[in-house]
Chain A
Amino acid sequence: MPFDFGKEVDHVARLARLSLEEDEKERMAGQLSDILKTARRIQELDTTGIEPTSHVTERPAVLREDRVRPSLPLDKALRNAPRREKGFVKVPRITVSEQDQK
């Protein structure tokens, strides 16, 4: 059965928070189907009982002492923020009131 990514594009784009134009979606559906077809060739390999490798360094997590240290001053930390006000970053409203929902 040919693999069709077309049905998945909207769902995956939503999960990834990517707004895509219609022509972009179409192109992507074809390209991603091809790429995933090649990627799925790993299914041919028997990996029964094989541990996954998420990282090549086999060292335990490195912990540092939990000590208060100076951090980046607020003005520097916020300098790159596209929208800011009174020492905060500014975003569209996150909460919706019950009234608005109606």
Chain B
Amino acid sequence: MRLYEMTAAELSRRLQSREVSSAEVVRSFLERIDEVDPYLRAFITRTPDLALKSAGEIDSRRMRGETLHPLAGVPIAVKDNISTLALRTTCASRILENYIPPFDATVVAALKKAGMPILGKTNLDEFAMGSSTENSAFFPTRNPWDPGRVPGGSSGGSVVAVATGMAPLALGSDTGGSIRQPASLCGVTGLRPTYGRVSRYGLVAFASSLDQIGTVSTTAFDGALLMNLIAGYDPLDSTSLPEEVPDYRAGLEPGLDKLRVGLIRYGRVDGFDPEVTEAVNKAASMLEEHGAKVGEVSLPLTDYGLSAYYLIAPSEASSNLGRYDGVRYGFCADGDSIEAMFSRTRGEGFGAEVKRRIMIGTYALSAGYYDAYYLKAMKVRTLIRRDYEKAFKKFDLLLGAASPTPAFKLGEKTEDPLQMYLSDVCNITDSLAGMPSLAVPGGFHSSGLPLGLQLTARPMQEKLLLKTGRFFEEQRAEYPLRPSLDFLEERGGDYEI
């Protein structure tokens, strides 16, 4: 087994026992990136020199006998909407193409403090708005299981990097499914923690009441390792939660006895692939066979949740993105008056989806429409939270699909934004309610594409999610899942979108 094929836990073990150096580990991943990334394009910015430099520093410190963090020397990829000091952070937008943050996000500072070399910044839908990574202003990322398909989004770059061994771990962000949906389309594990569990300081704001940084990994245990590093209170984020951080690695082993699982029955949601439903039912049987008590639960407001989300998130976005005016940072267009300068800067700097959302949000917040759209959506959000409160009176864990279909084709939904929005239908209500939610691989579609399960728990119950995720891994003969990438040899990357 080559180093880039190993889990973060295995790399951590070998680094701590000094079987390998961090420089060797980082070089293995950098070579893999050179081999694979020209075709799949997960990275916007690669940082091989920086990664090798921090690997060298960690190796010297280890040689000196210093006590290091378990993840010291294990490299990581970071979604390009998370601020990195002196390292270009673009949000996959023209408007921030040359933006160099003067500070580190709190999570990035934590990675650096622990000695995790950063391999680069990963591709996303512009400002994390999208479900396919096709809204990147620079280039789309391809799905490693079928390069003619999307990896999902918005954290498409991060999940592809992890799925193909270009990075053992990655950070993503999830507003309405941006970690879980791509994780399921690429066969990796993605955790959206409880809102407020991980600091948002330095995450470029999209919809502040929903945005959350989370983990992308090949196993639930690796997710736990990374959560141990990034979870916790941050005085720089006034919405971060002060509750104590548990050791997410501990107690992931014991069984599922008496675990009450609610199997989600989706109401009138169109476009569900029957094989997805089958995979979820099969997962429910597996839990039942191992001692869990499974019952059915309906979250009747799921489709209204989608409607509410596509008012709330754009409203918050239209406000948050007001800051891109060409004055303090980013792209700036010419204009005779200040208004002309603002409008042209934004008109030329933003891509189509970002403009759509700014328009919807501005409309929903404008005089005469505020009550009917934004305020009404916030009331529906309350009803959705009540749905969950009710469900969690009966159940400890909810089980459903992480995406209604496996990966769709590149270009299939780009002309129809509403169809694109519908691909987040499984993920959105968890976000609106602030619940932690985990996507784990749930077998394969007959087309050979991976399918994802989604587990949802009460706030702060990430451990239960990771434990159940680990259970599903143990049920499989082969883990982690790795795409074969046959097409790299067969077609030499010479295919068109």
Contact = CB atoms under 8 A, between A and B. Distances in A.
B79 to A, nearest CB: 20
Interface in B84-108: 99-100, 102-103
Interface of B: 99-100, 102-103, 195-196, 209, 235, 238-239, 241, 301, 303-304, 306-308, 310-311, 318, 325-332, 335-344, 346-348, 350, 352, 355-356, 358-360, 362-364, 366, 372-373, 375-383, 385, 417-418, 421, 432-434
B239 A55 contact: yes
Interface in A47-64: 47, 50-57, 59, 61-62, 64
Given A43-B376, A47-B383, A92-B337, A80 B358 contact: no
A44 B307 CA distance: 11
B332 A83 contact: yes
Contacts of B195: 56-57
Contacts of A20: 347, 355
Contact of B343 (A19, A44, A72): A19
Contact of A18 (B301, B337, B343, B418): B343
A43 B193 CA distance: 31
Given A57-B196, A72-B102, A16 B318 contact: yes
Contact of A42 (B331, B346, B377): B377
Nearest to B349: A18
A68 B444 CA distance: 57
Nearest to A83: B332
Given A42-B380, A80-B330, A92-B336, A12 B307 contact: no
Contacts of B372: 43
For chain A, the bracket of interface size reads: 35 or more
Interface of A: 5, 8-9, 12-13, 15-21, 24, 28, 31-32, 34-36, 38-45, 47, 50-57, 59, 61-62, 64, 72, 76-77, 79-83, 89, 91-94
Contact of A54 (B209, B306, B360): B209
A82 B378 CA distance: 37
Given A12-B363, A32-B359, 20 more contacts: A12-B359, A16-B359, A18-B359, A20-B347, A21-B347, A28-B356, A32-B363, A35-B356, A39-B307, A40-B373, A43-B376, A44-B304, A45-B304, A54-B209, A57-B196, A79-B102, A82-B331, A83-B332, A89-B327, A92-B336
A76 B86 CA distance: 10
Contacts of B380: 42, 45, 47
A53 B379 CA distance: 6
A65 to B, nearest CB: 11
Contacts of B346: 16-19
Most buried by A among B335, B343, B352: B343
A42 B378 contact: no
Given A18-B350, A57-B434, A94-B338, A12 B378 contact: no
Contacts of A40: 307, 373
B284 to A, nearest CB: 27
Contacts of A12: 359, 362-363, 366
B397 to A, nearest CB: 19
Contacts of A17: 325, 339, 342-343, 346
A59 to B, nearest CB: 8
B347 to A, nearest CB: 4
B210 to A, nearest CB: 9
Contacts of B433: 56
A34 to B, nearest CB: 5
B349 to A, nearest CB: 10
Contacts of A21: 347
Nearest to A56: B434
Given A45-B304, A57-B195, A82 B359 contact: no
B258 to A, nearest CB: 28
Given A17-B339, A47-B380, A34 B418 contact: yes
Nearest to B99: A80
A61 to B, nearest CB: 7
Contacts of B329: 80-82
Contact of A32 (B301, B311, B350, B356): B356
Nearest to A75: B102
A42 B376 contact: yes
Given A12-B363, A82-B330, A52 B102 contact: no
Contacts of A18: 343, 346-347, 350, 355, 358-359
Contact of A56 (B311, B331, B343, B385): B385
